[in-house]
Structures are given as structure tokens and as C-alpha cells.
Structure 1
């Protein structure tokens, strides 16, 4: 029975692959030619996503086939399994052939969102018309279904002489584990269940990421993603006058400075003695960064646009915030966009992304590639170069050795370059390497000692970087991904304080004079601010603002879990999608939220 099941699943796998080839041939004019260099990553991605796809579609079929009881060999039971398999193949054919046609117009794979359009009066006619226009795909689907059914019946089941309850029960239990693993896209605490956005990790363009995907996976993984619903408070003209994400900088001279962005795990504003001397009169838990801030442009009132690490990358690297749903987990994460890497690649920059976790951890690499970061270094890269002795046992490579690895890699980069890294050691379970446990201060909360360790890692990075020729021509950005779960002050436990983060820019050559800027800023302001700093003069899309334009009123926006929070220099407003209770704040909040969801609905983030 086990051999028969594997052969049957092989038939289903072959169907998925035939449909992928058909998808590519039908849409090759949009997807573009495939190069030999792209194929290995695409194949690796399809193995992961096809395993998930088949687990979702045929998971119950697998379990029913392996129930450890003799009745599974009866003719009636085998007939039930046959029709289950046929229905599974029908689902593969229907959704993927529909996708083949739909993609040509929508530039995306079908998801649960498409079902929201099924109540339109003309839906049935549109589907019939599409089938008639593509009759050959319909015939191909019938042929594949008949072929799959024919091959299925050729696989014979032989009932063993004696029941093997123990072995069959073990195989059944193992199959449950393997199905869960396939649905998640891997095992390990670092790996989140894969979503559509993870496909970008294996493709050179968002469109080609659709080759990695297939259905019904895309539908299953977007169940719960309700249709984008929002109130249109303003007509198009009024909305444009209130808020626009299209930026037009005046003509300037591009100065080709390198950019290095440190996304610091859980670096709350309250961790800093420099910013909060009243909290720490005698002890700094981040002495290096505190000292660096004294020579930097510091955004004292900076706020995170999200609550989780996965919210931070789109905000920082593409100026796209996350609200009710992390942007990186939405189908729109594969929409056309120009992140910081994409924009600077066109200006002759090399782009690098570093993360000490596994390649598929948290979807970081996938989104970084979507934002245009081409050279990727992860835990796998580190261990290939330096061995596996620096794994922290939880999340990835300790910050100190990984940042050292990053510094050496940047020294091989061609200037100008833009690089981003995500630190990881200042995170639950709040541990540091053994050699530092009695050296670094324990602190007021569990996170203070790991913060001190990451601060030490940053000091060591800069000690090396200062000796390199690229250092003086580099803009260094320090920004937290979100506030730590461990809080010390009462202020940090308020809604506003719970998004108050560290954010500052350091330029060794003095391009930016030291400044303690108290105007409200947010993570999505970083990309426009950096593009202004290097003199970029072309139109681009960003929800944030250039923080150096002091005449623009600063603000920050995030979602508390129940309502939107709109933070200004003087006060915070809370918006329940009807009113803030303040007319002056209403127009700003409503315009921003309406524009955000219009772009999400449009599925495009381009100027």
C-alpha cells in the first residue's frame, strides 16, 4: 500500500509540473526568458512549494490511504480513495488552468481574494467566455485528467497475508509529521509556515516568483485574508491634495555614498541612557551606540510602523507599513514595487542583505529580494565560510561573529553599495554567549544583557570598518525593528511608548552634523530620507516622508490591534476608521489610510 501511495502521489506531482510548464508557455511573454543561472533556485523553490501544495490538496488522501486497519484494502474503500484522488486532480487542473489565463491579465496567481468577485452578476459569463477562448486548455485539462485516472488504475494494491498493525501505525504517525512539515515548508522554530511572499526568495523577479507557486496552495494560504475593505472618504482629486505617496525631489547631484542599515532586534527607545538619562543615572546597557549617537543625527521621536519583526523590513526597505496584516504575508508582497535596493541598483549600486538566521527564517530573505537586494548572506552562508560553531541554539549565528562576517564581506563589495542587516541576539530567550554571561551587565530587564551584547557586536563591527577604505564614504543607519517585549519604564507600556524605537544616522565624514531632532518620524521615513541624503532626483513611491524637510509636519502611524494610532509631535490620536474625534487629525488619518488600502487593492507600488 505504501508503494502504491507513493506512485499515486507521483502522478499528482507530475500533473502539477505539466501545469507549471503550460503556465509558463502561456505567459512567457510576461515572465521573460529563463536563464540557466535562474533554474536551480526556481527548482529548489518548486520542491518546497509543491510539497506544500500536494500536502494541502492530498493530505487527507494520504492519511486515508495509510489507516492501519485491514478495511483499507476493500473494494469500496479503494473506490472512495480513487474518487478522492480524481477530485484532487480536478482541483489542480481547475485552479491552475484558471490561473494560467487569469495571470495574463492580473499579473498574479489566484488567491482567496478572487472569490470575493464571484458574486458579480457577470462572473459565470466571464468564465464561460474565457473557457471558449482557450478551448485548447480545456481539452488539455480533460486529457490530463483521463491520463491521471488511467495511470492510477494501473497501480495494483496487494493485501498482505497478515495485518502489520505496529508498522502501519508508525508509518501513519510519520506521515502526519511529514504532512505538517510539508505544509509549513520545513521544520525548526525559525521557520514560519511559508506564504506566497516566500516565493520571491527563489526568483529574480516578482513575476517569475509565480512560477514557483501553484494552486490550490495560494488559495489555502490566503484563507482568512478577507477582501480589502475600506472607506473611501475622499474623491481622487481631494485625496491627492491631502496625501500622495509619489515623491519628486528637485534635481540634485547623486553623491554615490554607501549605505549600511542595521535593523536592531527589539531596540526600544527606553534602552538608551543617552536618550533617557533619568532611567539609567549610572549604567548604560548600550554604551557604544549611546556614544555614537552623540556624533549622529538622532531622531528622538521615532516610532515603529508595526509590532513584529516581519513588519519592519517592508517599512524600512520599501517605505510600506503593515497594519492589520503583515505586508510581507499578503499577496501584495509580490506586487510591482521599487524598494531601496531596486532604486539604487539602477544607479550603479551593489545591494546586500545579511541575516544570521536560516535562509527561510521569517520570510526576511524573500522580502529583501523583492525590495531589490541581490547579494544575500545568511546562516548557511556563514557556516559554509566559517563553520557551525557560532550557532546560538535558537535563532541563528550570534551577532558578534555574524557582524564580523558582514564587515569582511562588505570589504569585497564594489562601491557604491547598499547593505541591510537584521540582528537577532537581543531576542527571547534573552541569552548571550557563555564567555559574556558574567561580563556584561545583567540589567533591569531580561533583554538588557542581550542588548549589551549586540551593542558590543556593533562596537567590534565599527572597530574593523574604520580600517577599511569604504568606511568614510558610508552612511550608517541604526533603527529598531520594534519595541522589546521586556519593558522597564511606565512610559514604554503605553500604546505610544510601545512603538517608540531607536533611530539615528551616522556619517563618519560629517555629512550630517550631530543633531537631536525631536520631530516625529517613523520607519517608513527612512527610505525617502536616505534617497534625499544621496541626492536621488527621480520620482519614486514611498508612504513615508523625507525627515530632513522640516517644513513637512512629522507624524507616525501604526495599528494597535484594535485601532489606528496617529502620533504627532504634541499628541496621539486614535482612529476607529470612522473618526478620531478631532477634525484636524481626521483628514490626515483618513487620507493616509484610504491611500494605503487603495494601493493594496490596486496591487502596485510604483510612481
Structure 2
């Protein structure tokens, strides 16, 4: 009896749905094999875990079956022929049994040894003489997982419904027009699935985005799936680095392990902590930090309110960003983790064990929150915040649920002024002490401000100056509204830029290190912390300094220094741009992994020994990659 024909689109939908079923089964096996490491799952978290799994599974389906979608929807009649259907079936079965089933089921075994999903490193470095024998050994030892693979492959083969004929009811021009349209829509959906969305705020998802849907990194690994993990990390390269020093000597030259003193220079224990990470707030926007840039100019800087806070707070007059992108700023500020060749959050190893600033303060009794006026999940900020230990996320969607959609800037998210006001409303409801971080977004391309402020804000000398003045005004309005609140007076405010602006004004900012110099300072409303430092400081120093001020006495992991309590650590700012580089008070160091180059800075005191400086920098680089390799960013127990 001849089977009833189906349309190509109907059969494609069914066959792709079958791949999702297979991914669900593989995830169930993964959890059963690693339940001890992941921990029990509460009913209340299953919805969010499922949403994250759907997002990463969609990317995996696109990577594995994107070509199959094309084979199924080509707008030509030969797709109904038996020879073409054989090609489709062969591709489908091979791709999904190997790239989907085999990789994900292998993860069930592999994860217990490495605490990470299989990525490009394992695939590209599996070409060894003993690889085949090891695979046979693991297959035999894990016979239950092997049996699951056989059964899932049978499910794919039988569920494909190969014998179901494909027929279209359309003919002639209608067939070609309709099927071309369907193919175009399918291609667009595939692109959206691979990127994780289609809005201008959407950054293509990476492994670290899994933390947005999970309460810890173990559950984040449960959300991930392959082939996404392999293909998304193919460009990251393997973790190979030079061992410049033996372990004993390495720790003497530089260690990321901190042992806080019993007393602090300034004790702000129990205070709330609010970190403002400010988009593109270069030091040159401030006449207080760079008065020489505005000699003879009509406008004396564009941050008068922030300048007043710097004078009344504790100002780092020479603060430098550790990277050039927003995605590098979050781990630098909240985790004291630099980003060298690849941004830290894009490394699959970034989901390793860590205890960053929000997590440490959370364990000290702080409630934690992160605010950003962009869409939830955009740019990877919320995902990183969750992985760092932050419990509550507030985004554009939350703002619009309370205040409507009229404050969307048309590009990135909610204008900074109303969003800061909204953040204050939420902070008033948070239990104290609290830790909160807020990422501003308005001082950014296309360099626009709300229409009502265009006539009153100075145009400035670059395209971003008006945006910088707008954010300065937004902070002024925030302080005016909440300055008399009790929680406000009990808060340590930290202001730090994510990186310098793409728009340069002062000649100093055209080259390193001036092109990394940013605004950075601490402020307490009651004047408990005042002063300034002309020493080189960096974003990496924020976490250790805040922990010192808030009374942390436990050992912690950080690549920066507590600027008020750790005089013995290197006074520098480190980074990577076409090579490793560092700046101190009086020297600039560049290192191409072969020979370091140390040059003097104009006006410096020449206190650093060049050889000692280079050795300490090499030790920091070795420590960084050693911990990336271990996937561990905590002090050993």
C-alpha cells in the first residue's frame, strides 16, 4: 500500500523536531551520569534551565543540520526524486548520529574528568597514535552510554520516515516562488538560531551565555550541547603557553592568591557596594583628570558632576582599562581576571570554578543585583554577571514592565538617566547590605542623546562628548533624587569605565598607554574615604580594593591588588593588543613571547628594574594560562 505523500516542509519540521528529542535524551543521559557533580535539580529551576537548553540546542541543530535544511528546501522538483532523498537521509543520519548523539553522549563520560564540555581543543588534538585504542577502551568501559548511542541512532533512522514520499501540490511558477520564499525564511531562522537572536544588541552566543540560565557553572554545563561547543570554540585556539619558571619560583614572582591582613587602612565593613561600569568614559572627558587637554578651550571638560565626586572621594588619577572592549571589562572589574589573546568570557574554560567579587560578598551576607538597560541576555553581560555570583538581573524588559516602552533609545536600550532612576527604585527595595553593579549604555555610537537635552548639552569636540555630558547629568540626577536616603549614605560607590572611547581628542590618547586611560574612583557620601593616588591603577584592582574596604578576611583569587592595603604587589596595568603589554608609573613593557622590551615613560622616576619587571610580567602571564588550563580561579583549599 503506497504511503500518503507529505510536503517537504512538513517532513523537515518533523525531522528537526526529532533532533530536539535526541538532544533532550542526550541531556538526560548527561545528567544521570553526572548528577553527583551537578547536584539535585529543583522544580522551580527547570523552566529556566529548559529555556537555556532550547537556545543552545537550537544553535547545535543549526550547526549540524543547516545543510540538511538547504537539501530539504531547494526550490527544485528533483528534491522529490529517490536519489536526492537518499542523499538527504545519508547526511541526516551521519550528521546527527555523530555530531549530535556521539558528541553529547561522549560528554556524559568526559565531563566527570574535566568538568567541561567537549570543545574544539579535544577534537583538534585527538590525532594521536593511541587515540583509536583509547576510544575502544572507553567504549567498552562505558557500555551503557554506548548502548544509548545505538538506540538513539536507531531512533533517528526509524523516525526519519525515509519511505514517506515527498510531493508538492503547487506547480509551475507558483512552486518556485513559494519554495524560494520558504527557503529564505528558513535561512533567516537558521541565522537567528545560530546567533541567539536577531536584534542589533545580540552578540553571537558563546559558552559563557549558559550562566544566564543557571544558578552555578555545573548547571551551565548541563545546558550546553554539541556541536555548538565544538564549533563555537574552533577559533579560540588551544591553551598552550610558555613555562618560564618552575612552580616554586613562579609563586615568588607573582601569585593571584591574596591573604588579606587582619586590619585595613579604611574599614567600611557592612556598607553597601554599588559599582557603575560606565560606557566609554575616557579620562580625557574629565577636566579634573586631564586639565591640560582643555587649555584654551571654551568647554572645560564634559563631566563636571563626576569631577566633583572625584574631588570629594578617592580618585585614581591614572586608572587604565585592561582591555579595549566591553566584554573584557566585566571580568576585569568583577573578577579581577584579565583578557589576553581571547576575551576571558569567550573561553570555554571561563565556566570553571571561581569566587568573584559578587560571590564573595554574597557569602558575607550581601544581596546581589546587576542592572543594564539593554535587552535581557544581550552582549553577554547578564550571563557573565550570573556566573560571577549575582542573583538578580534587571534589564530593559524589567524597566518597561514598570515604566512602559517610551524610554527606549532606538538602538541599545533604555536611556541612562531614566534607567539610573529605576535602579535606585529597585535598590530601595533590596535588603541591606547589598552589592549592585550597573552598566551604562548611552555614551555609545551612534552618539545620540534624548531630544530634550540636545539644546542644553554641549556639543563638544568629538561625537561622544555630548553623550559623556548626558551620562554626567544622569548621575547628577540620580544623586539628587537618592542622596538623602539612608541606604545611599551607607553605600560605597565605585565608578569605572569599561574602556576608552573610539572618539579621541587629546594627543596623549592616540597611543598607548593614553589610549587605555579611563575614569576610575571611589566615593562615600559621608566622606569616610577621601584622597587620591597618582600611582598606576587598573580595573583588576577594583575587586581586591573593595574586598579590603568591606572587611573580607578570607583568602581570594585576583590578578589585581588592593591599592590601599597591599604595597608589595606590582603597581601596573596589564593587557594585550598585538602582544602582551604593561604600564607602570615610569615604564612601558611590551612582550611578544620571545623578548620583552622595556622603555621609560616621560617624567618617570625610573624606579622599576627592567629585568625584574619583565620577569614578574612573564610570571603573571604563566599564572593566567596555568589557571585557564586548570579551569580553576579559586585559592586551593
Please report the TM-score for the alignment, with normalisation by the length of structure 2.
0.93
For 1:586, the equivalent position in structure 2 comes to 614
Task: Please say if 1:462 is aligned against 2:469.
Answer: no
What is the CA-CA distance between 1:324 and the residue it aligns to? 1.1
C-alpha distance in 1 between matches for 2:136 and 2:168:
48
Aligned to 2:277, which of 259, 263, 266?
Answer: 263
For 1:40, the equivalent position in structure 2 comes to 47
**Could you give the per-residue CA deviations for residues 532-573 of structure 1, whole angstroms, max 9, x where no partner exists?**
01111000000111111345441110112x111110001211
Which consecutive residues of structure 2, in runs of 5 or more, have no partner in the other structure? 1-7, 598-609
C-alpha distance in 2 between matches for 1:18 and 1:261:
42
C-alpha distance in 1 between matches for 2:91 and 2:179:
21
**Superposition map of 1:195-210 within 5 A:** 195-210=206-221
C-alpha distance in 1 between matches for 2:581 and 2:401:
44
**Superposition map of 1:48-127 within 5 A:** 48-91=55-98, 92-127=100-135
Task: Please say if 1:510 is aligned against 2:518.
Answer: no
For 2:3, the equivalent position in structure 1 comes to none
C-alpha distance in 2 between matches for 1:155 and 1:463:
72
For 1:24, the equivalent position in structure 2 comes to 31
Is this contact kept in 1: 2:268–2:549, CA < 8 A? no
For 1:2, the equivalent position in structure 2 comes to 9
What is the CA-CA distance between 1:332 and the residue it aligns to? 1.7
What is the CA-CA distance between 1:584 and the residue it aligns to? 2.9
Aligned to 1:245, which of 250, 253, 256?
Answer: 256
Task: Please say if 1:136 is aligned against 2:147.
Answer: no
**Could you give the per-residue CA deviations for residues 246-281 of structure 1, whole angstroms, max 9, x where no partner exists?**
000122488211100000000001110111122224
C-alpha distance in 1 between matches for 2:359 and 2:130:
39
Aligned to 2:489, which of 469, 472, 480?
Answer: 472
SS at match of 1:440: coil
**More displaced 10-residue stretch of structure 1: 283-292 or 410-419:** 283-292
Is this contact kept in 2: 1:482–1:501, CA < 8 A? yes
What is the CA-CA distance between 1:283 and the residue it aligns to? 2.5
**Superposition map of 1:272-421 within 5 A:** 272-281=286-295, 282-421=299-438
Is this contact kept in 1: 2:31–2:38, CA < 8 A? yes
Aligned to 2:235, which of 196, 217, 224?
Answer: 224
Is this contact kept in 1: 2:89–2:162, CA < 8 A? no
What is the CA-CA distance between 1:339 and the residue it aligns to? 1.1
What is the CA-CA distance between 1:507 and the residue it aligns to? 1.0
Is this contact kept in 2: 1:579–1:586, CA < 8 A? no
C-alpha distance in 1 between matches for 2:390 and 2:168:
56
Task: Please say if 1:191 is aligned against 2:202.
Answer: yes
C-alpha distance in 2 between matches for 1:125 and 1:237:
37
C-alpha distance in 2 between matches for 1:325 and 1:260:
28
C-alpha distance in 2 between matches for 1:518 and 1:156:
76
Question: In 2 relative to 1, CA 552–8 (structure 1 residues): closer, same or farther, beyond 3 Å?
Answer: closer
Is this contact kept in 2: 1:4–1:155, CA < 8 A? no
Is this contact kept in 2: 1:272–1:286, CA < 8 A? yes
SS at match of 1:294: helix
C-alpha distance in 1 between matches for 2:190 and 2:449:
35
C-alpha distance in 1 between matches for 2:516 and 2:623:
22
Task: Please say if 1:152 is aligned against 2:160.
Answer: yes
Which consecutive residues of structure 1, in runs of 5 or more, have no partner in the other structure? none
For 2:625, the equivalent position in structure 1 comes to 597
Is this contact kept in 1: 2:589–2:614, CA < 8 A? no
C-alpha distance in 1 between matches for 2:278 and 2:136:
53
C-alpha distance in 2 between matches for 1:578 and 1:584:
16
C-alpha distance in 2 between matches for 1:115 and 1:14:
25
What is the CA-CA distance between 1:43 and the residue it aligns to? 1.1
Aligned to 2:582, which of 561, 566, 589?
Answer: 566
For 2:603, the equivalent position in structure 1 comes to none
For 2:541, the equivalent position in structure 1 comes to 525
Is this contact kept in 2: 1:333–1:367, CA < 8 A? no
SS at match of 1:37: helix
